[in-house]
Amino acid sequence: MNPNLKYISGYPQNLIEQVSSLIESGRFVTWFEKRYPERHQIQSEKALFDYTMDIKQRYMKKTAPISKVIWDNKIHLINNALGLHTYVSRAHGGKLKSKNEIRIASVFKHAPEPLLRMLVVHELAHIKEKEHDKSFYQLCCHMEPDYHQLEFDARLFMIYQEIKHEDRK
């Protein structure tokens, strides 16, 4: 199996074969760029926080507040993930204070906006639903109706990034 296909290894064989065929024919990069011709402009952590809070305000007003949303350049390497939601509890003067933090893999600084939105939706859903279960995915689809397609496309973006990196060598 092509090492680039590791990101979609859990998907049906026919999808893997279609992607593999595009890669082998040298058409994958062009196909992906045609599918997603534009990249988002959210580069600062303030812009990422504001972007996340806009989505939270629209769909999850009554959930716990978020203290931080940042780009993280270690996330992909350490956790084999694209984003992380952390919940930190600290004792502060006899009171227990909790913080929700969202970290998005830095590689998505250069992604198409729909893929960034899918990741933010995914991490926001973890504020309410901790497990990747039916309720979790229902909430993701409520916030982003194309959630499942965009999740697959985010994996294709990772393949795209690797191929583009290989081409630069």
Q: Look at the pTM and tell me if it is higher than 0.85.
A: yes
pLDDT for 43-53, tens place per residue?
A: 999 999 999 99
pLDDT for 84-101, tens place per residue?
A: 555 555 555 666 556 788
d(CA 35, CA 17): 19
46 within some domain: yes
* Mean of the per-residue pLDDT values of the chain: 87
Instruction: Give CA torsion, residues 28, 15, 135, 102, to 10 deg.
Output: -30
pLDDT of residue 146: 98
3 within some domain: no
34 within some domain: no
CATH assignment of the domain containing 116: 3.30.2010.10
70 within some domain: yes
Domain count, the chain: 1
d(CA 124, CA 33): 28
d(CA 88, CA 95): 14
148 within some domain: yes
Domain interval for residue 164 = 39-168
